[in-house]
Amino acid sequence: MRTSELGATGLQITRVGFGAWAIGGGGYDGGWGPQDDEDSIAAIHRALALGVNWIDTAAHYGFGHSERIIGRALAGVAPRPYVFTKGGLPEGPGRTKTRCLKRDSLLREVEGSRERLGVEAIDLYQIHWPTPEEEIEEGWSTLA
């Protein structure tokens, strides 16, 4: 499968990746509805077998469920594909999303994502929705 460099990172990624929003399932605002976890794992394995070398997810997808399923799917997979995830939408009361780019919140989100994904390092960490505006600089500084 053809690859392109991701910006100026040196990472060579396939032109098609695996988007894992739907794997988060349902039960939250923006969810795709019920998904079978074993089918999701099989879909990830099939994408990797076809040459895809990166997976995109977010802590918000199923409030961590997508990341946990990816972690299960990648256990023992070598070489591991690049894993991209996002933060800035931590879970609020009653399984609602909140928006927060404060340093302590982002650091908790990064660590939670890393643990759910079962990786020592996240290859690309993105801010999901860069709001609230008054916290953007703090968010960028935290991730720099």
Residue 79 CA to residue 143 CA, distance in Å, equals 26
DSSP string, 113-125: HHHHHT-SS-SEE
Is 61 a catalytic site residue?
yes
Which is the catalytic residue, given 28, 61, 82, 125? 61
Could you say which DSSP state residue 50 is in? T
CB 2 within 8 A of CB 50: no
Tell me the torsion sign for CA atoms 3, 5, 6, 11: positive
Q: Return the active site residues.
A: 61
